[in-house]
């Protein structure tokens, strides 16, 4: 059967008029959802693999650390769902209380007896059942929300220098100072990036960024000179595998590069890492899990992770560009920059482009506070994606289609069963001849008399 020419022309015209997947109103929503789910799955598998040796030697079970990560995921996924359902107006009211709570906890974590000291860093507050709270993760979320709301409320005054810089810049400076006292250089970089992104979106002039960058470099150099270990980290990352640097502060960086090199293109295979054993990487399932990915899954595995983070970043920027709400634009930018910069700093540290900062890889590294709050922040992105033009209508249509299909299936299945039973009954009645009670022989059907 041939197709009529004008019908084919009409079908081609309809296909050309149909928008592509990335142009649809729900493209951002599904890009965030899918990329987050894949990164979370890769992270759980890699934490299980990278922590198996340490878990067995410490707890007697190769699954002990992975089970704890599974608990964090079990808490984080409902938090992500909750974040996707909270209205935007609630987020605007939520920013200031969250920031005040973060400031209080950032001060409390520095108090001996309250904050937990691990390898010279006091970043965690112990909680019951062996869990820990990291206040700096709350600060990232609080700054993104409060800063976005502040910029929206001062929209008409941002042309003046004092309103553009204050009180946002001083508050971020206080947060960064408290984080550096822990010390935590990686989180300080992320907090500064959130500030820069908010100022960029509201259209701050270039001299503002030049001034802030100069101040940041000056303070960084002063802190590096004040603390000898920071200076050694800055000098060791350029050649961590040299004889002197390897014995000092370059051991972990050198082992990470060794893991990436030994993985090659296709990797040694899942679970076959050598650097997770004793004498290898000190933190194979936390800060340096990306090195284990490169060793076991090779270049293809690391590029896959990089592509997923790029997809997540693209989706967040798309949400910020397509929304009509200025608060959503600023908050979505802050959250996207938070996740993207943290991922870049972590991966840059592993490949030797950035000095060691001790920051986890979002959604992949082992951790509770970081994972749960990152998932909640990505849930906020999903909530913001639902406010894009046409998104609510598209979601309502999808729900209506799913509901109608479910109803039709519920009705169709009993009807099919009845029809099958009825057909089977008719078939058996026709196939089985009637017999007489006495002889048991088949009785011929009676014919009608005319």
242, part of any domain = yes
8, part of any domain = no
pLDDT in tens, 55-89: 999 999 999 999 999 999 999 999 999 999 999 99
208, part of any domain = yes
Contact 135, 106 (CB under 8 A): yes
134, part of any domain = yes
Query: Residue 36's closest CA among 80, 85, 69?
Result: 80
89, part of any domain = yes
Contact 410, 345 (CB under 8 A): no
11, part of any domain = no
Tokens of residue 381, six digits: 């992105």
66, part of any domain = yes
Q: In whole angstroms, what is the distance from residue 275 CA to residue 360 CA?
A: 18
pLDDT tens sequence for the chain (450 residues)? 455 555 565 555 555 555 566 777 788 999 999 999 999 999 999 999 999 999 999 999 999 999 999 999 999 999 999 999 999 999 999 999 999 999 999 999 999 889 988 877 888 999 887 788 999 999 999 999 999 999 999 988 888 888 888 899 999 999 999 999 888 888 999 999 999 999 999 988 888 889 888 888 888 777 766 666 666 666 666 677 775 566 566 788 888 899 999 999 999 999 999 999 987 888 899 999 999 999 999 999 999 999 999 999 999 999 999 998 999 999 999 999 999 999 999 999 999 888 878 899 999 999 889 999 999 999 999 999 998 877 777 777 776 555 555 555 556 556 666 666 666 666 555 554 554 444 444 455 555 544
Give strand ranges (E) for 300-394: none
The structure's pTM equals 0.84
Please write down the long-range contacts of 68-74, taking CB distance under 8 Å and 24 or more positions apart.
68/366, 68/368, 69/43, 69/44, 69/366, 69/371, 70/44, 72/367, 72/368, 72/371, 72/372, 73/40, 73/44, 73/371
123, part of any domain = yes
Please list the residues that pair with 125 across neighbouring strands. 133
Q: In whole angstroms, what is the distance from residue 255 CA to residue 349 CA?
A: 12
Tally the domains of the chain: 1
pLDDT in tens, 336-375: 999 999 999 999 999 988 887 889 999 999 988 999 999 9
Pairing label, strands 116-118, 132-133 = unpaired
Residues 6+ apart with CB under 8 A from 370: 134, 137, 360, 362
* Domain carrying residue 295: 26-389
């Amino acid at each position: 059967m041939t197709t009529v020419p004008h019908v084919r022309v009409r079908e081609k015209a309809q296909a050309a008029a149909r928008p592509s997947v990335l142009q649809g109103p729900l493209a951002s929503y599904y890009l965030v959802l899918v990329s987050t789910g894949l990164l979370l799955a890769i992270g759980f598998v890699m934490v299980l693999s990278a922590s198996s040796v340490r878990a067995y030697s410490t707890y007697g079970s190769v699954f002990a650390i992975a089970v704890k990560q599974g608990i964090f995921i079990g808490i984080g996924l409902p938090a992500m769902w909750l974040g996707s359902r909270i209205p935007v107006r609630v987020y605007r009211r939520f920013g200031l209380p969250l920031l005040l709570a973060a400031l209080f906890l950032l001060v409390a974590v520095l108090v001996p007896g309250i904050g937990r000291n691990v390898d010279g860093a006091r970043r965690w507050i112990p909680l019951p059942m062996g869990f820990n709270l990291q206040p700096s993760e709350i600060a990232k979320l609080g700054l993104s929300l409060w800063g976005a709301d502040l910029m929206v409320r001062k929209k008409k005054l941002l042309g003046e220098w004092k309103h553009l810089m204050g009180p946002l810049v001083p508050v971020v400076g206080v947060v960064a100072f408290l984080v550096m006292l822990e010390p935590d250089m990686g989180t300080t970089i992320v907090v500064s990036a959130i500030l820069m992104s908010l100022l960029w979106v509201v259209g701050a002039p270039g001299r503002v960024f030049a001034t802030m960058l100069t101040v940041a470099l000056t303070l960084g150099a002063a802190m590096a000179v004040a603390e000898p270990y920071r200076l050694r980290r800055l000098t060791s990352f350029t050649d961590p595998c040299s004889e002197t640097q390897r014995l000092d502060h370059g051991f972990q960086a050198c082992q990470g590069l060794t893991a990436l090199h030994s993985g090659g293109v296709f990797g040694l295979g899942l679970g076959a890492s050598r650097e997770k054993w004793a004498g290898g990487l000190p933190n194979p399932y936390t800060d340096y899990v990306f090195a284990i990915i490169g060793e076991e899954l090779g270049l293809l595995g690391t590029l896959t992770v990089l592509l997923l983070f790029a997809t997540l970043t693209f989706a967040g920027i798309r949400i910020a560009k397509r929304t009509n709400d200025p608060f959503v634009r600023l908050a979505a930018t802050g959250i996207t920059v938070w996740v993207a910069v943290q991922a870049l700093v972590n991966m840059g540290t592993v490949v030797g482009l950035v000095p060691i900062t001790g920051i986890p890889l979002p959604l992949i590294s082992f951790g509770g506070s970081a994972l749960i709050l990152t998932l909640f922040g990505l849930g906020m992105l999903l909530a913001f994606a639902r406010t894009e033009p046409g998104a609510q209508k598209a979601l309502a249509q999808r729900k209506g289609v799913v509901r109608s299909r479910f109803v039709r299936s519920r009705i169709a299945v009993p009807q099919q069963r009845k029809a099958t039973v009825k057909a089977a009954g008719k078939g058996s009645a026709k196939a089985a001849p009637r017999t007489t009670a006495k002889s048991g022989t088949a009785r011929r059907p009676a014919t009608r008399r005319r």
